[in-house]
Amino acid sequence: MSNDPVANALSLMLNAEQRSKRNCIITTTSKVLKKVLDIMNKQSYIGSFTETQTARGTKLSVELLGAINKCGAIKPRFAVKNNEFEKFEKKYLPAKDFGFIIVSTPQGIMTHTEAKQKMIGGRLLAYFY
């Protein structure tokens, strides 16, 4: 069992997506994971997700739209300044202006494009395209 709910959830979603599933159930949850899923929902990579309480804990049911080509957690969580995003875009994304990197900033969790517009840095969490 891994200690990173974000990495577990993204790999579970990618595996379900590659097998043409319409939904997946994530058993390990966290606040950061919910925010990452919310950002993916706003960018139309996944559908809605619902949270259910069970005897064993909280589960998330995520609706998949078939839009994810690749997604994953970034380990280690690199610290990045507002003018260094391009280096990591080249490393994790296939093309310029295609896909998103999720960044944890002092103003909250957001995409790298929002962080560049606000001219703030942070720590890299995940990517998807």
Domain boundaries, the chain: 5-64, 74-128
Fold entry, domain 74-128 = Dna Ligase; domain 1 (3.30.1490)
| Residues 6 or more apart in contact with residue 31 via CB below 8 angstroms | none
- Quote the CA–CA distance of 129 and 124 in Å, as a whole number: 15
Q: What mean pLDDT do residues 1-11 have?
A: 88
Question: Would you state the pLDDT for residue 97?
Answer: 86
pTM equals 0.92
Averaged pLDDT, 58-79:
96
CATH 3.30.1370.30, domain 5-64, yes or no: yes
